[in-house]
Structure 1
Amino acid sequence: MTTSFGAANTALLKDPKLQIPSFRGLMSSGSLASARHARSVSVSSPSPSVIRAVSTPAKPNTASETKRSKVEILKEQSNYIRYPLNEELLTDAPNINDAATQIIKFHGSYQQYSRDDRGPKNYSFMLRTKNPCGKVSNQLYLTMDDLADQFGIGTLRLTTRQTFQLHGVLKKDLKTVMSTIIKNMGSTLGACGDLNRNVLAPAAPLTRKDYLFAQQTADNIAALLTPQSGFYYDVWVDGEQVITAEPPEVVKARNDNSHGTNFPDSAEPIYGTQFLPRKFKIAVTVPTDNSVDILTNDIGVVVVSDGDGEPQGFNLYVGGGMGRTHRLETTFPRLGEPLGYVPKEDILYAIKAIVVTQRENGRRDDRKYSRMKYLISSWGIEKFRSVVEEYYGKKFEPFRVLPEWEFKSYLGWHEQGDGSLFCGLHVDSGRIGGKMKKTLREVIEKYHLNVRLTPNQNIILCDIRNAWKRPITTALAQAGLLQPRYVDPLNITAMACPALPLCPLAITEAERGIPDLLKRVRAVFEKVGLKYNESIVVRVTGCPNGCARPYMAELGLVGDGPNSYQIWLGGRPNQTAIARTFMNKVKVQDFEKVLEPLLYYWKRRRLSKESFGDFTTRMGFEKLQELVDKWEGPELAPSRYNLKLFADKETYEAMDKCAKLQNKNAHQLAMEVIRNFVASQQNGKGE
């Protein structure tokens, strides 16, 4: 990239609608003489009057300094994400100040307090790990399990980005917990903050070439975009560097500056002192496998193989993202769109070019509009592609044709392809606690298993010998970790964010509310005559930020006030369509008034194999609203079947005790057992 390109595109890189300034425009008339000199200056102390390492290449002086958000100033003054966190951690206070609260996010932590409590705030910290592909070693799993008991609230949480969240850590224990994670093959670096987040990839430990290649690519992208300035280790392990070998192609791509992507001689060659305008999300997968919600990411990377299954290159999607603000139509969820194809040897350079384009041109004045999706929405894909190609140094090849996407959960028992088995386990809302936590630890420790975390908040046990299958299955079932055929289909695809009580952004319940909501959805299914094995994708969040990706759901519930939700309709089971707002501020007690007519008419008016999401889109919201407004209840014929499931009190009590492990009632569990038994007999697979 040359200086002439930057000058020629000054007008190109501004948009009057969203007022997106070029990152180069952050250089004020009173700043350093040239950006190249600025990039080489190290920060020894915070100084609000000097902007360092924020622009490449140089740009002519501007008349006035471009407005920047408070967080941008904090990043600039932080000495590469150290100050004032390093000082705040030394105080006796149970919390850290506002500036340190922003800075600690880059280290993988959020300051929180319980909103259920009254009186003085009881501060604690949530830690989030960074696990590309969801890979978790046996050693790290056992460490996280221990830390949850010793320093947390006794539970682990699996996130929608294949990581752990550890809640309830006190400030005085932060350094102990962080250093323990680091010394046990883990990291929280970059799990939060304005930089690349955890890189997703299919969690299944299959030995197929394309899966292995996708997972290795995710590892390499994560390494490429890992901060280099050492701030993380300075703060948590007193500067002790944890050396991990990087593939030479990663080091080469990071250091390459042939197209003006880097800050020469900077501690952060890709990020500079300002890092990115906002968080950045990347997912890698193989054709058909949409376990990663590929279209919701800033960059979606898809392996393209030849007829022999040998990976040749990658299709790239750009511009996905979920976050929005209620009743502000200039904020919106967005699907990624095709950018082009690159040969496999170029993938790191292409990723870097996209990241740098966002670094240079994403908005830094208003964080509501700082995600890359707004830059692409403003510019259009053609203009975005042309700017990325300048940093890439090549033209993108045409996007390759892909087959239809499918949601893959990888639950149950499967062959890995190397003689071993893996077992995918459903975990409601990703929350591991109680007997489930104890049993999982016992199994993982006894058989020395590695694990994978999935983007659907589930866990996969890997490298299991055939002889271990039966005892492991028995042990897990006793803790309520059942095979998928015994789990309600609604629960299989449902997701919720943590929300209350700890998330400061939550407006209403999500994780704590979804068990009851799913029971009520199941009751409506039964009332309108839908079959048990039919299902819809339900996702619930406590606020509009969309952490559980509700805008891709067939039925998305987004917190919109105390005990009320927006209802979003129109997503698809394979997560390839964006939902739209159907109703606002629906009180939780009025849920059935909306859901009953929608499901009733889906059953009666749907086309062959038409999903609920596609049905709502085809019908149109005006017609659906009319059906809801006129609803007086289903006209159902009396049931032909009336089973008396329990003949004695002892059987009922035993079934009820088992059902409670799965957050169900005795009747629901008994019906599931009967249905599954009948199905197995019909399929000739009775046990």
Structure 2
Amino acid sequence: MTDLTNKEQANGPLIVEGKHADNERLKAESNYLRGTIAQDLKDNVTGGFTADNFQLIRTHGMYQQDDRDIRNERAKQKLEPLHNVMLRARMPGGIITPTQWLAIDQFSREKTSYGSIRLTTRQTFQFHGVLKPNIKLMHQTLNEYGIDSIATAGDVNRNVLCTTNPVESELHQEAYEWAKKISEHLLPKTRAYAEIWLDGEKIEEGKDGKEVEPILGSNYLPRKFKTTVVIPPQNDVDVHANDLNFIAIAKDGKLIGFNVLVGGGLAMTHGDKSTYPRKADDFGFVELAKTLDVAAAVVTTQRDWGNRVNRKNAKTKYTLDRVGVDTFKAEVEKRAGITFAESRPYEFTGRGDRIGWTEGFDGKNHLALFIENGRLLDKPNLPLKTGMAEIAKIHKGDFRMTANQNLIVAGVASEDKAEIERLARAHGLMDDGVSVQRKNSMACVAFPTCPLAMAEAERYLPGLVTDVEAILAKHNVADESIILRVTGCPNGCGRAMLAEIGLVGKGPSKYNMHLGGNIAGTRVPKMYKENLNEEDILQEIDSLVARWVAERNNAEAFGDFVIRVGIVDEVKVSKRDFHD
């Protein structure tokens, strides 16, 4: 714990006093995240988890869900909701081998209700619709192939993202290794996951034989925590959506250290002006040798100072705004035993994936496949999932899941290119007709599985993009695009609060429209209009695109245009500007 007293700082108290949120009781009484999950697994009366375990399974990488499309029908039949779990794997940097891919493909076909693999904005995969009798088998199957789901949800550091960047192969390999080291360093040390799901595989204990959590603490973090490693100029992991970011700084093609950005986050609550999306602050440069020390210092400072009274204000971004950025930074320096140097120059020029073939510096080839909404499922005349399995059977490199829900077939030898492409095209994984607009659009899962969804997102996006494509064509800019993102609620999973047009679900077929993000992903958009239905949204986009085309300066991007002409004001300081 910090030795600073709980005195008033320039911006507010270091520690928020008051009755702790019930999640704090839950974690304290959980016996290091065990709860009574093992007992619940044996309860055949219900398909779900009870009481505290509903929350605790999140730290084991799972969310309890049900099929909301049939919830009312089951209620009429006096049946409980069709409970199942969604599992999110831990895959630092998003790299998965063909052997691992074939294993998850088989499990999804045989043991999930939906039969799909979902690539996520957290650069990993999710299983949806795993029923209670198959949950333990799922964890053991993943473990057999070197995969787990430890700490991919809950009040812990989650899956660490890393720029895929297959072109700069050597630099990417260095950055990826650091993403793995950071992930391992910040993992919970409790044996709960292994005991419950893997029948007691042992994990390192403290010297006295008792469990300790030297970084996360016995009550873990006040709220979820997200970390990235990014290689400029691609901001494909959206650093400003994350609590802690390491910007790779290279010299002569070799990684020499990181610029450290702290305090980004996109979640908010409708109607609560104390909540807002926020950009991360630049703390400065740190040499490689101090990377893990800095990561631990940021996490432990947030652990000790984060708001445990009000979960809506518990993320790192609110801690920085409450205590002051300089105060937080000074504490990190003290705990890490460093002084941040001035940040090294870098620039973000884009966020999208380079769809199609690219050649790396090492002569290997990489094929980035566009996967709309990240959903790999066999559909009539579009057997995407089978196609990926066929590629996995012959591919000698690895696969890289991207934070934009796409998939890269990486490390393809020249002699194997033609066959990989043949398989991809035969199964609909390569389509030259996919527009730039579709490639720059993204949505979260939302209905029917997410319990937080207020409106459609994944199922709404494809048709919406088709309509936007028509609007762009109408105004003679069909070869251009607007970064468009849709989320079913304000929790930020689809990263709409870094889009040029961000739609945030407010209710069935109702969305708030935000405008003004930029291409680099370094600006939060501002509310434009509330409670728009789908027809209203298209009318607004049509009108806005018409003005953009008629009044823009040269190749001015849409998000820059709407701010320059005053359609919305720029959000410079979120706490001050976002709700004004």
Root mean square deviation, CA, Å: 2.2
State the partner residue of 1:279. Answer: 224
1:69-80 superposed matches below 5 A: 69-80=21-32
**In structure 1, C-alpha distance between the alignment counterparts of 2:335 and 2:132, rounded to whole Å:** 42
1:232–1:574 CA distance, 2 compared to 1 (3 A): same
Deviation track 1:422-455 (CA, whole Å, cap 9, x = no partner) reads 1110000000000110111011113344211000
- Look up the equivalent residue of 1:73 and give its one-letter code: R
Q: Report if the CA contact (8 A) 2:390-2:423 is conserved.
A: no
Q: How far does the alpha carbon of each residue in 1:333-359 deviate from its partner, in whole angstroms, 9 at most, with x for none?
A: 001110111111111101110000000
Equivalent residue for 1:9?
5
2:178 corresponds in structure 1 to: 217
Aligned-residue offset at 1:126: 0.3
- 1:536 alignment counterpart: 482
The alignment status of 1:339 with 2:286, answered yes or no, reads no
Which position in structure 2 is the counterpart of 1:122? 82
Q: 1:140 to 1:532 in 2, by over 3 A?
A: same
1:235 matched to 2:196: yes
> Does the CA-based 8 Å contact 1:537-1:553 persist in structure 2?
yes
Give a deviation string over 1:474-507, Cα, whole Å, max 9, x none.
2211222125x53111111111000001101000
Contact 2:167–2:361 (8 Å) recurs in 1: yes
CA distance in 2, matches of 1:270, 1:480: 46
| 8 Å Cα contact 1:206-1:212 kept in structure 2 | no
Counterpart check, 1:100 vs 2:48: no
Return the alpha-carbon distance in structure 2 between the equivalents of residues 465 and 15 of structure 1: 56
Structure with the larger strand share = 2
Distance in 2, matches of 1:605 and 1:227, equals: 53
Question: Match for 2:368: what amino acid?
Answer: G
Query: Of 125, 128, 131, which aligns to 2:91?
Result: 131
1:298 maps onto 2:243 in alignment: yes
Secondary structure at 1:486 match in 2: coil
Correspondent of 2:435 among 488, 507, 510: 488
Matched letter for residue 295 of structure 2: I
Counterparts of residues 354-503 of structure 1 (less than 5 Å): 354-434=298-378, 435-482=383-430, 485-503=432-450
2:165 and 2:231 in contact (8 A); partners too = no
**TM-score computed with the length of structure 1 as normaliser:** 0.78
Corresponding letter in the other structure for 2:241: T
The corresponding residue for 1:151 is 111
Give 1 or 2 for the bigger CA radius of gyration: 1
Alignment counterpart, residue 90 of structure 1, candidates 20, 42, 45: 42
Q: Which amino acid aligns with 2:120?
A: T
Q: Cα–Cα, structure 1 residues 328 and 481, in superposed 2: closer, same or farther, change >3 Å?
A: same
For the Cα contact (< 8 Å) 1:426–1:458, is it kept in 2? yes
Q: What is the SS of the residue equivalent to 1:302?
A: strand
Identify which range, 458-467 or 446-455, moves more after superposition: 446-455
Distance in 2, Cα, partners of 1:171 & 1:530: 52
Of residues 447, 451, 460, the one that matches 1:513 is 460
Equivalents in 2 of 1:558, 1:506: separation in Å? 10
- Which of 508, 514, 535 aligns to 1:562? It is 508
**Per-residue deviation at 1:410?**
2.8
Distance 1:545 1:14 in 2: 29
Residue 132 of structure 2 corresponds to 171
* 2:394 counterpart letter in structure 1: K
Identity %: 34
Q: For the residues of structure 1 that align with 2:358 and 2:169, how far apart are their CA atoms? A: 13
Structure with more relative contact order (C-alpha pairs < 8 Å, separation 6 or more): 2
Offset of residue 329 of structure 1: 1.2
Instruction: Give the Å deviation of 1:241.
Output: 4.0
Work out the CA distance in 1 between the residues paired with 2:263 and 2:336. Answer: 17
Conserved in 1, the CA contact under 8 Å of 2:159 and 2:183? yes
The Cα shift of 1:416 comes to 3.0
One-letter amino acid matched to 1:496? A
- Offset of residue 471 of structure 1: 2.2
Q: Which amino acid in structure 2 is aligned with residue 10 of structure 1? A: N
**In 2: Cα distance, 1:164 partner to 1:390 partner:** 37
Structure-2 residue corresponding to 1:34: none
- Report the Cα distance in structure 2 between the residues aligned to 1:165 and 1:573, rounded to whole angstroms: 28
Q: C-alpha distance in 2, partners of 1:86/1:469?
A: 48
Which residue is 2:64 aligned to? 111
Which letter does structure 2 place at the counterpart of 1:386? A
* Distance 1:318-1:179 versus aligned 2 partners, 3 A rule: same
Report the alpha carbon displacement of residue 327 of structure 1 after superposing the two structures with TM. 1.8
Which ranges in structure 1 are unaligned for 5 or more consecutive residues?
A: 26-65, 244-253, 256-261, 625-687
Which deviations, in whole Å up to 9, do the C-alpha atoms of 1:214-267 show, x marking residues without a partner?
111111100101111211100101112489xxxxxxxxxx99xxxxxx999742
Question: What code does the residue aligned with 1:114 have?
Answer: D
Q: Does structure 2 retain, via aligned residues, the 8 Å contact 1:405–1:576?
A: no
Is 2:369–2:429's contact at 8 Å kept on the other side of the alignment? yes
Q: Report the secondary structure of 1:583's partner residue.
A: strand
Structure 1 CA distance for aligned equivalents of residues 29 and 538 of structure 2: 52
CA distance in structure 2 between the partners assigned to 1:622 and 1:218 by the alignment: 37
2:14 touches 2:323 (CA, 8 Å); kept in 1? no
- Cα distance in 2 for residues equivalent to 1:68 and 1:405: 43
Deviation at 1:20, TM superposition (A): 6.2
2:253 maps to: 309
Q: Which runs of 5+ in 2 are unaligned?
A: 571-580
Specify which of 200, 214, 218 is matched with residue 161 of structure 2.
200
Whole-Å separation in 2 of the counterparts to 1:11 and 1:576:
33
Partner Cα distance (1:593, 1:615) in 2: 18
**Superposed displacement of residue 207, structure 1:** 5.3
Q: Aligned partner of 2:221: which letter?
A: L
Q: Which residue of the partner structure matches residue 576 of structure 2?
A: none
In 2, are the aligned partners of 1:414 and 1:423 still within 8 Å (CA)?
yes
Structure 2 vs 1, CA of residues 293 and 443 (structure 1 numbering), >3 Å: closer, same or farther?
same
Query: Offset of 1:509 from its aligned partner?
Result: 0.3
Summarize the Cα distance change of 1:623–1:449 in structure 2 as closer, same or farther, 3 Å threshold.
Answer: closer
Using the TM superposition, give the Cα deviation of residue 206 of structure 1 relative to its aligned residue in structure 2, in angstroms: 4.3
Deviations 1:574-623 (A, max 9, x none): 21111111000001122222111100000000011110000011112369
Contact residue 352 and residue 404 of structure 2 kept, 8 A: no
